[in-house]
């Protein structure tokens, strides 16, 4: 029997911190299942909220603005007899305005290379829409081979009768294996999604130790937390013009960890907005980010934030690769 009760512990470990040999000590269970799941969908439908719920901790930042997620984010959800490796991806967009958008979409596609199944998340509040484009961008030629679940999210926002109608529409007009209505925000239906995934994963041993939730280094999450606070504090185009890099991260045995972060913007006018009158806005941002970083790392830190201008960084392929958009995430 596959159990869903075992949530991963709140325990972040760097990839370098563990040795794969440790897995040799785990007795091989012939019924153990493991595999990769790619989470696709348009911007703002709740992909990150769903991924976080499944992993049991907040790995992906969530905001009410579209195009929050920029990298594919790996989250590991383990139980006694299963391990699901989830890829939360940036929202699939039609109009690619910058090189950054094109590179983000490449990262969506590359998440699907190892996929054993696909979740396509849609927003139940929106009129039903075909999902061909999302599948094309996300999995390309693999679309007919991979088991696909349509997750009808945000069901808490619509009436039960409406949910039934939308469910029927998606069952009729999309070529998916199943449709499950959920409310990722409140965790409703998330176990049904897990059950579906489990039924599609092949038998095999765990890829990662059972007590880790991600392979990204801590500094990656630090940068993401700062980016989330930027989205929450600033309006319009400003958050989209920001890139956050951790330039220094020093663990100190007898003092608070020292973290230096730079926010790169495209224009001086954006820098002025970020800093605010007498530096008040930046101070507010740094405090909000520090509190969340401390909560995430479970220790006190000293956070220094600086704003820099790099004109048109979103169009500069070299810079984009340097910032980690070229494939594997390099935390800066």
Ligand X SMILES: Nc1nc2c(ncn2[C@@H]2O[C@H](COP(=O)(O)OP(=O)(O)OP(=O)(O)O)[C@@H](O)[C@H]2O)c(=O)[nH]1
How, if at all, do strands 117-123 and 33-41 pair?
parallel
Q: Which is nearer to ligand X, 53 or 245 (CB)?
A: 53
Stretch 75-104: interaction string toward ligand X, x if CB under 6 A: ---------------xx-------------
DSSP per-residue string spanning 174-225? S--SEEEE-BTTTTBTHHHHHHHHHHHSPB---SS-TT-S--S-HHHHHHHH
Partner from Mg ion, ligand X, none binding residue 154, C-beta < 5-8 Å depending on class: ligand X
Q: Is residue 69 near ligand X by the rule CB under 6 A?
A: yes
Q: Is residue 49 near ligand X by the rule CB under 6 A?
A: yes
Candidates 44-52, 134-142, 293-301, 316-324: pick the segment binding ligand X (CB under 6 A).
44-52
Taking the C-alpha atoms of residue 316 and residue 243, their distance in angstroms, rounded to an integer, is 13
Of 176-205, binders to ligand X (CB under 6 A) are 183-185
DSSP per-residue string spanning 265-297? ESSHHHHHHHH-GGGHHHHHHHHHHHHHHHHHH
CB of 70 to ligand X, least distance (A): 8
User: Which residues does 165 contact at the CB level (< 8 Å), separation at least 6?
Assistant: none
Partner from Mg ion, ligand X, none binding residue 289, C-beta < 5-8 Å depending on class: none
Q: Is residue 107 near ligand X by the rule CB under 6 A?
A: no
Taking the C-alpha atoms of residue 42 and residue 45, their distance in angstroms, rounded to an integer, is 6
The alpha-helical segments, DSSP class H, found in the chain are 47-55, 99-111, 132-139, 160-173, 190-200, 218-233, 268-275, 280-297, 317-322
CB burial readout 133-142, b (16+ within 10 A) else e: ebbebbbeee
How, if at all, do strands 73-79 and 257-265 pair?
unpaired
The single-letter DSSP state of residue 86 is E
Q: Is residue 49 near Mg ion by the rule CB under 5 A?
A: no
CB of 306 to ligand X, least distance (A): 26
Q: Is residue 245 near ligand X by the rule CB under 6 A?
A: no
Of 128-187, binders to ligand X (CB under 6 A) are 153-154, 156-157, 183-185
Stretch 63-82: interaction string toward Mg ion, x if CB under 5 A: -----xx-------------
Q: Is residue 112 near ligand X by the rule CB under 6 A?
A: no
The single-letter DSSP state of residue 16 is G
Total chain residues near ligand X (CB under 6 A): 24
Total chain residues near Mg ion (CB under 5 A): 4
CB of 48 to Mg ion, least distance (A): 3
Partner from Mg ion, ligand X, none binding residue 245, C-beta < 5-8 Å depending on class: none
Contact residues for Mg ion, defined by CB under 5 A:
47-48, 68-69
């Amino acid at each position: 029997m596959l159990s869903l009760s075992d949530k991963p512990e709140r325990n972040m470990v760097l990839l370098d911190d563990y040795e794969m040999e440790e897995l040799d000590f785990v007795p091989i269970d012939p019924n153990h299942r493991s595999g990769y799941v790619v989470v696709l969908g348009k911007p703002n439908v709740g992909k990150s909220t769903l991924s976080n719920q499944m992993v049991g901790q907040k790995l992906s930042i969530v905001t009410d603005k579209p195009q929050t997620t920029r990298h594919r984010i790996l989250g590991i959800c383990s139980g006694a007899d299963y391990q699901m490796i989830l890829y939360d991806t940036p929202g699939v967009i039609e109009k690619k305005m910058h090189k950054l958008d094109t590179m983000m979409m490449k990262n969506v596609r590359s998440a699907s290379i190892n996929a054993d199944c696909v979740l396509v998340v849609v927003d139940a509040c929106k009129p039903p829409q075909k999902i061909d484009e999302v599948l094309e961008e996300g999995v390309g030629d693999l679309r007919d081979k991979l088991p696909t679940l349509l997750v009808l999210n945000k069901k808490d926002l619509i009436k039960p009768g409406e949910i039934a109608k939308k469910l029927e529409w998606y069952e009729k007009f999309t070529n998916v294996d199943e449709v499950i209505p959920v409310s990722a925000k409140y965790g409703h239906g998330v176990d049904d999604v897990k059950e579906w995934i489990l039924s599609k994963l092949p038998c095999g041993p765990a890829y990662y130790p059972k007590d880790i939730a991600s392979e990204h280094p801590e500094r990656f999450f630090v940068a993401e937390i700062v980016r989330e606070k930027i989205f929450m504090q600033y309006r319009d185009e400003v958050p989209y013009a920001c890139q956050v890099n951790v330039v220094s991260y020093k663990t100190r045995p007898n003092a608070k960890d020292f973290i230096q972060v730079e926010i790169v913007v495209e224009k001086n006018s954006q820098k002025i907005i970020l800093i605010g009158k007498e530096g008040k806005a930046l101070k507010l941002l740094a405090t909000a980010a520090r509190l969340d970083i401390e909560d995430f790392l479970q220790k006190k830190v000293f956070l220094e934030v600086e704003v820099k201008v790099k004109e048109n960084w979103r169009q500069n392929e070299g810079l984009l690769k340097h910032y980690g958009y070229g494939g594997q995430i390099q935390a800066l």
